[in-house]
């Protein structure tokens, strides 16, 4: 049981390049999320998916697209990277247990855009 | 809409107590608390649902005042392992969508 996995762990992009961050969970969770965390800051929600086939915008969706490929996988795409997108990106999934729904986070992807 | 956490940082000696507060300008459905150690992912501590219940997790407990839209995290007899950044995440409805505060840095010294 690997939990939430993310690839790659580190990435350096040039301005204007595109890339996809991959996330997968093996806990059979319905909801999945993408957050970004800038240095010394909190987590900001980019997009989330309440179930397979549905996605919704979070606080900071501009410049990103997502795809919920199946129940396990939720990818985040940067179509044209900008230096302002330099951040640590965390994927998370939610265990829905009655009224409790704690989020499990992946290890993060550290992205630098030059 | 982002909840406000206070204090921004706190330094403790091992064995001392601390309180971290989280307040929102909006009505809340639930409040989550997470701890993040440097270079690692956030880890879930506890969730409080509206109803004002208090929860405990070892020597860490929390309360939720629904009327004041505030939650407090209590760390008693702090241990070195408590060091890290604590985040509250607030939920306005049962959508499972969280908005996080900017965090409180806690350092516990021997």
B44 to A104: CB separation less than 8 angstroms, yes or no: yes
The whole-number average pLDDT for the span A72-76 is 97
What's the CA gap between A46 and A91, in Å, rounded? Answer: 10
B44 to A94: CB separation less than 8 angstroms, yes or no: no
B96 φ, ψ to 5°?
Answer: 65, 15
Cβ-based interface (< 8 Å): residues of B facing A: 2, 32, 34, 40-44, 47, 49, 87, 89, 95-103
Element of type H or E holding B90: strand B84-91
Q: Identify which has the larger pLDDT, B102 or A2.
A: B102
In this complex, the residue of A41, A44, A105 whose CB is nearest that of residue B42 is A105
Confidence bin at B88 (pLDDT 50/70/90): very high
The whole-number average pLDDT for the span B74-85 is 95
pLDDT tens by residue, B22-72:
999 988 888 999 999 999 999 999 888 877 566 666 789 999 988 889 999
């Amino acid at each position: 049981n690997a939990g939430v996995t993310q690839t790659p762990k580190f990435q350096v992009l040039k301005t204007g390049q595109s890339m996809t961050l991959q996330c997968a969970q093996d806990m059979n969770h319905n909801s999945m999320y993408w957050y970004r965390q800038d240095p010394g800051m909190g987590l900001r929600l980019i997009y989330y998916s309440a179930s397979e086939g549905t996605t919704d915008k979070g606080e900071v969706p501009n410049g990103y697209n997502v795809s919920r490929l199946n129940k396990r996988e939720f990818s985040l795409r940067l179509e044209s990277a900008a230096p302002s997108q330099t951040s640590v990106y965390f994927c998370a999934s939610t265990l829905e247990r009655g009224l409790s729904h704690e989020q499990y986070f992946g290890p993060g992807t550290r992205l630098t855009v030059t | 809409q982002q909840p406000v956490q206070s204090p921004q940082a706190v330094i403790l000696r091992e064995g001392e107590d601390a309180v971290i507060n989280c307040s929102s300008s909006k009505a809340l459905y639930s409040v989550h608390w997470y701890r993040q150690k440097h270079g690692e992912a956030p880890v879930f501590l506890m969730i409080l649902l509206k109803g004002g219940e208090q929860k405990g997790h070892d020597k860490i407990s929390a309360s939720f005042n629904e009327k004041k839209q505030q939650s407090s995290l209590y760390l008693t007899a702090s241990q070195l392992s408590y060091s890290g950044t604590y985040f509250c995440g607030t939920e306005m409805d049962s959508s499972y969508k969280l908005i996080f505060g900017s965090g409180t840095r806690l350092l516990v010294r021997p």
